[in-house]
Structure 1
């Protein structure tokens, strides 16, 4: 009975493998009329053993072939990335600004099928991508894990744009799309965004300088309704957006997790703040708002600045070059103190800020976390500068202060004495073209001596041509106190050349005591032969990696 059970078991197993066995072996001999069960069982066991060995051999051969192919593919991949100065990565292709040629693109297309786990594709700033994107996109149809696509400045064509739209339909996990600096996106954006589906996972959408039209603005506004996970939205340098902002504002109401909104140079008008304001109440997570470069925005804050008060956690507010009027400044005076989380404020290139900003600048004291204050080119007057000096004493977190292009600072820098003493965290101080004089340099040197600028890393004193040689001398002698300084600029104005005095020797001597200095701007200073020899000696003797930006000796 045991022999019979063994036969039935073997027969069953043999039937399950019959198709494979028929391919590997010839038919067995006919059984005699009275079979010998022991012999038959033995033969079956022998056949099974032969089958197992054959399958094992075939598996090994196949495995060796696969491994050989994989090794060959890996070598090709390593060679491709190595010639472009990159390292191969199965989940990320970053060939940003690699000067790809058409041959490189062909190689890339051939390699893409070997990367089924690809999550990031960045081929930005490669001119030859334009018109050659289709084969790449065809391969991406089979990459189901793709999360990031960056195609900045690739000179995309209309055909490229249309093919990209098809790819987005098969990329449900996409989290970032960046098509900035591709003019052909303009007028064709709807063809791309049609790939965005309900419940989209996209968190970052950047379309900077894409020549977007009013119709594109409507398209992006409608697709925002599907992008509840959006965190970064940048439409900067698209001047036709402002005329169709209503649809975008409506769409923004459906992006509750938005952290960054950038509309720099988008043709915004006086009505734009009122339109955007309707969405601000829905953007409780907004951390950065950039409305800069919109020169027709002036007057828009007069009755609508209150909308900003909804952004209680706002950390960055950029309003530079917005042609703010006095009534705008008056309204912002009431609102900005309510933004207690503000860390960066840029009011630069708004002339009216300097003539009517006494109250606004005095209110900065209510922003204890303010780390960056940019008010260059604001035509600060006496009262405004005095208000700023007083308020800045209450900004212990201040790291970056830019007062450039404000002439009143010259001769009055001492008004910032208490600020410079108390701002122990100050790392960047820019005083370009502030009409500084020797007295200002003496004051600055005294502050340096007391160690209150010990954390300073960047100091810009350029375009202050009225500083005497005595002023530069006292400053140069005290430069060693700025132990953490990495950049120093004392360049003169264009076309205004001047002889270096003996102070240049003091400056070079001071540089030997600044171990972190890497950049020194001395443009348009004429360096006499003795000082030129000192400079050459400095470079040879100290072997410091300092870039002397002098534009050639004159």
Structure 2
């Protein structure tokens, strides 16, 4: 008859087994967190994981994301979840889960009463299966975050999620992004949002949202007074409906992030937003990128950004800005002391007028990221940039994108690189040209090379499109390896 081990000896043995398994995967033991994200687990590893899970009763977080071997093997693992009843976080991103796995997971959720975060994102084969899972989530659970990004969700999945919202009123974040076929049931979902008044984040990026669905969403805003992040980007069919749904946005006084990029916003939408935006006093990030009609009528809206002193990020890439709207933005910038990120890429009107903005930046602002890709910049723009580097707002710049500006001469680049050494905190610089350009490096290359040792934080330098001689390539390669930098150029 096998003799039972004393409790202390058994505990030591359990610890040793867990430690041996984790060290094999280059992980450190932790009684509360089992992080096996992207560990390339094999079938044998899964079997061993199943064996040690009961030895970790204090686990509060399990992350098995980016391990495709989990798919189809969840049954045996979920049976062990009865030993981890303190579990609060379960992440199964990109695990190749199947509809059968979802069935077993649903059964397991019934014995995890304290679950707060469930992330099933990037599992494309579970679409059509959520109706099996959601009814199993205990009504008494305290689920706060649910993410199902890019899971090929269907209309039926959307309806089952709507029913879940009715039951789980503790939800604080819901991410349904990149599920294009869920659009038809978004009306059902938005109607149930009134049951989750504590919702703080709602991500409907690329969900096939249509005008009627967006109008229903507008009706729900009156119940979502704690909402901080709203992302409805890449829903191209909601353009034209903002004029009727923008007014309820004004009730979202806690909103910090509003993402409307690539929504085909129309002029009438802009007129409505112009009235509402100044009322969102907590707003920190505004993304209107890739809405070309913004540039036609944005002067009033952009001038009203001055009423949002907490703004940290303004993204207006590819908005068709015109000189008048650009001037309005410059005037508003004077009143944005917390501005950290500004993206004006693909707005040609910036070229020759950059001084207007740089001189207007609030002196208290500490801009960290400036994107000016494909802005038709000319020599005087770079000269102005070089002059204001040390003047407050640009002193702490970390990322600068000047790519695809082919109107700048060799002398213009040389002047810029002479002044760039003042960017002491610059970590990323992109000065690439379009792939079809293939311009030779001029006298500026020597200026750049001389500046590199004086830029200790610069870790990423992109020079694609420039033709470097073999000697120039060797010089960059030598500096790159000696200083552990990442330089990218065409060889």
TM-score (norm 1): 0.86
The equivalent of 2:219 in structure 1 is: 278
- Equivalent residues in 2 for 1:185-334, closer than 5 Å: 185-334=126-275
Q: Secondary structure at the match of 1:184?
A: coil
Number of residue pairs matched?
A: 490
Does the C-alpha gap of structure 1 residues 171 and 532 become closer, same or farther in structure 2, counting only changes over 3 Å?
Answer: closer
The equivalent of 2:65 in structure 1 is: 124
The equivalent of 2:385 in structure 1 is: 444
Q: Secondary structure at the match of 2:358?
A: helix
The equivalent of 1:50 in structure 2 is: none
Contact 1:370 1:397 in 2 (8 A): yes
The equivalent of 1:544 in structure 2 is: 483
Summarize deviations over 1:139-178 as a string: whole Å, max 9, x none: 1123221111111111111211100010111111111111
Residue 282 of structure 2 is aligned to residue 341 of structure 1: yes
- Equivalent residues in 2 for 1:8-19, closer than 5 Å: none
Does the C-alpha gap of structure 1 residues 234 and 533 become closer, same or farther in structure 2, counting only changes over 3 Å?
Answer: closer
**Which of 1 and 2 has greater Rg?**
1
> Greater relative contact order (Cα 8 A, min sep 6): structure 1 or 2?
2
Match of 1:395 among 336, 340, 344: 336
Residue 56 of structure 2 is aligned to residue 101 of structure 1: no
What is the CA distance between 1:373 and its match in structure 2?
0.2
What is the distance in 2 between the residues matched to 1:262 and 1:537? 45
What is the CA distance between 1:292 and its match in structure 2?
0.3
What is the CA distance between 1:241 and its match in structure 2?
2.1
Q: Secondary structure at the match of 1:471?
A: helix
Summarize deviations over 1:422-447 as a string: whole Å, max 9, x none: 35311110101111111111111111
What is the distance in 1 between the residues matched to 2:356 and 2:370? 15
Give the aligned CA root-mean-square deviation in angstroms. Answer: 1.7
What is the CA distance between 1:211 and its match in structure 2?
1.0
What is the CA distance between 1:89 and its match in structure 2?
1.4
Q: Secondary structure at the match of 1:233?
A: strand
Contact 1:117 1:143 in 2 (8 A): yes
Residue 445 of structure 2 is aligned to residue 507 of structure 1: no
What is the CA distance between 1:250 and its match in structure 2?
2.4
TM-score (norm 2): 0.96
What is the distance in 1 between the residues matched to 2:404 and 2:380? 16
What is the CA distance between 1:273 and its match in structure 2?
2.4
Q: Secondary structure at the match of 2:181?
A: coil
Residue 300 of structure 2 is aligned to residue 359 of structure 1: yes
Match of 1:178 among 112, 116, 119: 119
Contact 1:324 1:350 in 2 (8 A): yes
What is the distance in 1 between the residues matched to 2:368 and 2:381? 19
Moved more, 88-97 or 289-298: 88-97
Contact 2:237 2:264 in 1 (8 A): yes
What is the distance in 2 between the residues matched to 1:353 and 1:115? 55
Does the C-alpha gap of structure 1 residues 166 and 532 become closer, same or farther in structure 2, counting only changes over 3 Å?
Answer: closer
What is the CA distance between 1:372 and its match in structure 2?
0.3
What is the distance in 2 between the residues matched to 1:451 and 1:400? 15
Moved more, 382-391 or 465-474: 382-391
- Equivalent residues in 2 for 1:163-174, closer than 5 Å: 163-174=104-115
What is the distance in 1 between the residues matched to 2:474 and 2:92? 49
Gap runs ≥5 in structure 2: none
What is the CA distance between 1:75 and its match in structure 2?
2.2
